[in-house]
Structure 1
Amino acid sequence: MVKVGTLEVWPPVVLAPMAGITNIAFRTLCREQGGGLFVCEMITSRALVERNPLTFEMIRFGAGERPRSLQLYGVDPVVIGRAARMIAEEDLADHIDLNFGCPVPKVTRRGGGSALPYKRKLLREILRQAVANAGGLPVTMKMRKGIDDDHLTYLDAGRMAAEEGLAAVALHARTAKQHYGGNADWDAIKRLRDAVPDIPVLGNGDIWTADDALRMVAQTGCDGVVVGRGCLGRPWLFRDLENAFNGVEDRAQPTLGEVTRTLLRHAELLCEVIGSERYGVADFRKHIGWYLKGFVVGAETRRLLALSNGLAELEDRLADLDHDQPWPGEAADGPRGKSGERQKVMLPHGWLDDPDELTVPSPDAEDTTSGG
């Protein structure tokens, strides 16, 4: 059992927030498989306090969804504080996670995400305002090792989180420069665990199977794991994770027929969430390759599946697959989505000059129309 403030989480597993992925539809599928904390898509604090309609759509939770976990991205301590107060007073969530791990250029070049912890005083003030205004809701943070190997921030940031009253910290054991390339540095998770003994430390990076999660905990001493890309197209990974942490050896090995049934249900749920079959099926296209990873399905068949214009057409094309094809094993594991290291991390001009500078980045660092 891992305690995150007032929340008791078992198994000690967190679904990482992923833009365009961790909406109600996907969270529903994952929660049906196993327990843990399931975080919604990242939103910007400014968009929340300005009551942007798209942002409020992104933080919708299911009727029976508890605890409700919401991830905030922001660069201004005052706005973060207002957002935290709003979440607590309006009962918008049961848990607030702060994002200091996003490596995408549109975020880091404005001083947000994984770029922000380099500014130590700014980070501390954001953490302080979030905790002070959260009304007792547990506040956590997710971060990366740092900007690059010459600008590592995770140990200082972790100590600061504990000092400012955060309930837990999660480390994606890559730098922003690594993006999603190379291997996650699990030794960094151990160093953070040793440096921050008073609050839970969660590890993230290269968890493709439940046994990877067990190895991470054994190797690093972390209190739990955060799963991101490893569950794309595989919501049953949460069943495996629950079994693994309960000492049960059984692992899911669905046939292609079983996978297609889950795939179709995911598409149906997404259409309900979006409120349009046409747009729901279009939005679902990115998931098809993840569900079919490792299975023998021809390129033309994959292309036609991705071009489906409605649920009936998608179901008809899925019916043509070999539903008896067995689970492909290791071929279905491994990286999903774009990988590869970046040549450089995009940062605001002069960002690395003074780590103690307290200047707040400009408001356009939080694009209210992007949701983060």
Structure 2
Amino acid sequence: MTSPRKPHLTLGTLPVAPPVVLAPMAGITNVAFRQLCREHGAGVYVCEMVMTRALVERNEKTLRMITFASDEHPRSLQLYGVDPTTVRKAVEMIAAENLADHVDMNFGCPVPRVTRKGGGAALPYKRKLFAQIVEAAVQAAAPAGIPVTVKMRIGIDDDHPTHLEAGRLAQEAGATWVALHGRTAAQRYSGEADWSAIKNLKESLQIPVLGNGDIWEASDALRMMSETGADGVVVGRGCLGRPWLFADLAAAFTANPTRALPTLGEVTTTMRRHAELLASWLGTEQAGVVDFRKHVAWYLKGFPVGGDTRRALATASTLTDLDNHFTHLDPATPFPTETLGKPRGRTNSPGKVTLPHGWLDDRDDDTVPTAAELEDSGG
């Protein structure tokens, strides 16, 4: 394992040690999953992305999404917005009502329903609009001392890279740090992340740069920081079905080679805990267990569990259902080490990025796209 640097990453006045951030993932990084991850290791754990307009309008779903545990600190909230005015109102609301301690701005989402409105990974191409949005967030957050960070991708596609200019603009606007996913929007989650882009961005900025993309193991985090000079890492798909990855990361950054390789019995205990936390957050056991279903395949990846049992767990509706199906598993089954270092979660093929009509015509056009703000949160 690569020897760790001694990083000095801070978020406002808060030291971030180890320098690890949980990436926002729609439908995943709710208060229940964040609590489960926090129980394994330290870092910054960001909630699901929420829309600025939905927040300002106090959309019931959005307000539930920004729930934080009483002992969660810092409370990190990721915003998506395309209109600087709405972004400013949303951050002013966060500051005035003490809704979060940290605001992360999303400029990396490649989902078509986001990019077709000019948002997410499409937005940094419009450099003036991008700068206005970051400035609005920073200015609105400043009186409350709330740090604002930026997460983005390399660009729309290989022909339209934006990360170096966007990084500079974010720095000039007062962003605390910039996190870069080493893929373009067109790559989506295919292929390999380009860590050299993270290195180039780090070399061009004075503020901290965090790297994101293909961190499947703690050793990947150390290697990324060594190869790129990044000040920290952002972990997304690598922790799906493996919240104990944060224990591995905490150990790795103290030069401890210990890693968590739970038996199947220990994994099912974690699965049960996850379902319980979801039930508590969503208000009913059935809602929690149904929401948990999406996690079953990730937790059981590589374990010799038959298809019938997998299907039964993925269609359970109560905690008792889960318990009954767990009895068919051998708790002593060792962790499948052949899955280590392999991609987890969604993988897909590259594709053309869906953009508003004429989006690429003028980089300095700062017109807010018509009906830019989505009606719902997530993505």
1:187 aligns to what? 196
1:355 aligns to what? 363
The structural deviation recorded for 1:371 is 4.1
1:311 aligns to what? 319
Answer whether contact 1:95 1:139 (CA < 8 A) is retained.
Answer: yes
2:280 aligns to what? 272
Q: SS at the partner of 2:39? A: helix
State, as a whole percentage, how many aligned pairs show the same letter. Answer: 62
Distance 1:332 1:264 in 2: 23
Count of residue pairs brought into register by the alignment: 370
1:162 aligns to what? 171
2:183 aligns to what? 174
Instruction: Provide the TM-score with structure 2 as the length reference.
Output: 0.96
Q: SS at the partner of 1:33? A: coil
1:367 aligns with 2:374: yes
Deviations 1:223-250 (Å, cap 9, x if unpaired)?
A: 0000000000000000000000111110
The structural deviation recorded for 1:207 is 0.2
Instruction: Return the letter of the residue paired with 1:90.
Output: E
1:142 aligns with 2:154: no
2:5 aligns to what? none
Distance 1:195 1:111 in 2: 26
What value does the CA root-mean-square deviation take over the aligned residues? Answer: 1.0
1:84 aligns to what? 91
The structural deviation recorded for 1:337 is 2.0
The structural deviation recorded for 1:333 is 4.0
Distance 1:371 1:152 in 2: 25
The structural deviation recorded for 1:49 is 0.8
Instruction: Return the letter of the residue paired with 2:191.
Output: G
- Flag structure 2 segments of 5+ consecutive residues without an equivalent: 1-7
Distance 1:173 1:121 in 2: 23
State how 1:58-69 maps to structure 2 within 5 Å: 58-69=65-76
Instruction: Provide the TM-score with structure 1 as the length reference.
Output: 0.98
The structural deviation recorded for 1:342 is 2.8
Q: Choose from 91, 101, 105 the match for 1:98.
A: 105
Q: Structure 1 residue runs of 4+, over 4 Å off?
A: none
Answer whether contact 1:101 1:172 (CA < 8 A) is retained.
Answer: yes
Q: Which moved more, 1:264-273 or 1:295-304?
A: 295-304
Deviations 1:188-240 (Å, cap 9, x if unpaired)?
A: 100000011x2110000000000000000000000000000000000000000
1:216 aligns with 2:224: yes
1:119 aligns with 2:126: yes
Q: Which moved more, 1:3-12 or 1:45-54?
A: 3-12
Distance 2:376 2:183 in 1: 28
Distance 1:224 1:85 in 2: 28
1:300 aligns to what? 308
Distance 2:310 2:341 in 1: 19
Deviations 1:82-106 (Å, cap 9, x if unpaired)?
A: 1111111110000000000000010
1:32 aligns with 2:39: yes
